[in-house]
Amino acid sequence: MKSLAEPKKWERYFWPILVSALFLALWHYSVIWTATRIFPSPLDVERGMAELLRENVLWGDIADSLRRVAIGFGAAVVLGIPLGLTFGWYPPVNQVVNPTMQILRPISPIAWIPVSIIFFGVGDDAAIFLIFLGAFFPIVVACVDGVSNVPSVSRRAGRNFGLAPWQLLAKVVFPAALPQIIVGLRIALGIAWLVVVAAEMIAVESGLGYLIIDSRNSGKRYDLVVAAMLLIGLIGLTLDLGFRRLERIKSVRWGFRNES
C-alpha cells in the first residue's frame, strides 16, 4: 500500500547518499583545516584501501574474520538454541540456571581475553571462543523469553489436537517463539562481529582487527587503520541486512509487524 507520506523512490536513495557525502566532506575539510599530519583524509583512506587490495592481503583478512565469526556464531547457535528452548520449556530448570547465567551474561567478552588465552593459547581457538561467548548468551536469553512468551492459547490449542510434548515443542512453541529468536540471533551476530575485531587485536595475527593494530604498529599507517575500520562497518552492515531478510519469510513475518 502506498501512503501519501511515503517518500518517492529517488528520495529514498538521494537523502541517505547526501548525508554520507556531507559526512565525507566534513571529514575531508576538517583534515585540511586542522592541518593534521597524523589523521588521514578520505582520499588517503581510499588510496590505502586500493593499496591493500593490490597487495592482496585484504581478502585473506576479511575471510579470516568472517570464518571466525561463522564458527563462533555457528557454535553459539547450535548450542544456544536447544539450551534456550529447554530452559524456556522447563521453568524449574530455568530457575536453577538463570542466576548463574545472569552473572556471566553482563561480562564483556573482552574481559574474557586473558582467560581464553589460558584455555586455548594465543590463536584462532581463543578468538573463536570469545565470539562464541559474545553470541551465546543473547541467543539463550532470546530463546527462553521467546518460549515463555508463547500465548497459553497456542499451547492449549496444540494439546487439544493431541500433540505429544515434543510435537508441541516443534509444531507450536518453536514457530511461535521464532520471531523473537530471530531478533536474538541478529543481535548476537552484531555482537559477534564487534567481538571478532577486538579478539583479533590480541589473540591472533590475521583478520581485520589484526590489520588495524598491525597498520598502527608497523609505521603508523592511519590511512590503513581507517580503511580497515570502514570495511568493518560495511561488512557489519551487510551481515545485518542479510539477516534482516530472514524477517521477511512469511511464516515469521507476523512477529515483526505492529498490526496483525
**Residues found near another protein in the complex (CB under 8 A):** 151, 153-154, 156-157, 159-162, 167, 171-172, 175-176, 178, 250-255, 257, 259-260
Report the C-alpha gap between 210 and 20 in whole angstroms.
27
Residues 6 or more apart from 220 whose CB is under 8 A from it?
38
Could you tell me the three cell numbers for 130? 570469545
Contacts of 18 (CB under 8 A, 6+ apart): none
212: amino acid identity, one letter:
I
Pinpoint the alpha helices (H) of 121-207.
124-148, 152-160, 165-168, 174-202
Closest distance of CB 152 from another protein, Å: 9
| Shortest Å, Cβ 186 to another protein | 18
* Contact indicator for 208, 62 with CB cutoff of 8 Å: yes
Instruction: Read off φ and ψ for residue 93, nearest 5 degrees.
Output: -65, -45
Nearer residue to another protein within complex by CB, 70 or 170: 170
CB of 145 to another protein, least distance (A): 17
Q: Specify the residue, 108 or 148, whose C-beta has the smaller distance to another protein.
A: 148
Burial of 203 (0-12, 13-18, 19+ CB in 10 A): buried
Shortest Cβ 159–another protein spacing (Å)? 5
Instruction: From 135, 159, 125, select the one nearest 81 (Cα to Cα).
Output: 135
Closest CB to another protein among residues 94, 167: 167
Question: Looking at this protein, which amino acid is placed at residue 126?
Answer: A
Contacts of 85 by beta carbon, 8 Å cutoff, 6+ apart: 143, 147, 169, 173, 174, 177
Min CB(255)–another protein separation in Å: 8
For another protein, the closer of residues 171 and 244 by Cβ is 171
Nearer to another protein, 103 or 153 (CB): 153
**CB-wise, 116 or 180, nearer to another protein?**
180
Quote the least distance from Cβ 143 to another protein, whole Å.
Answer: 16
d(CA 129, CA 198): 12
Nearer of residues 145 and 240 to another protein, judged by Cβ: 145
Least distance in angstroms from the C-beta of 260 to another protein: 4
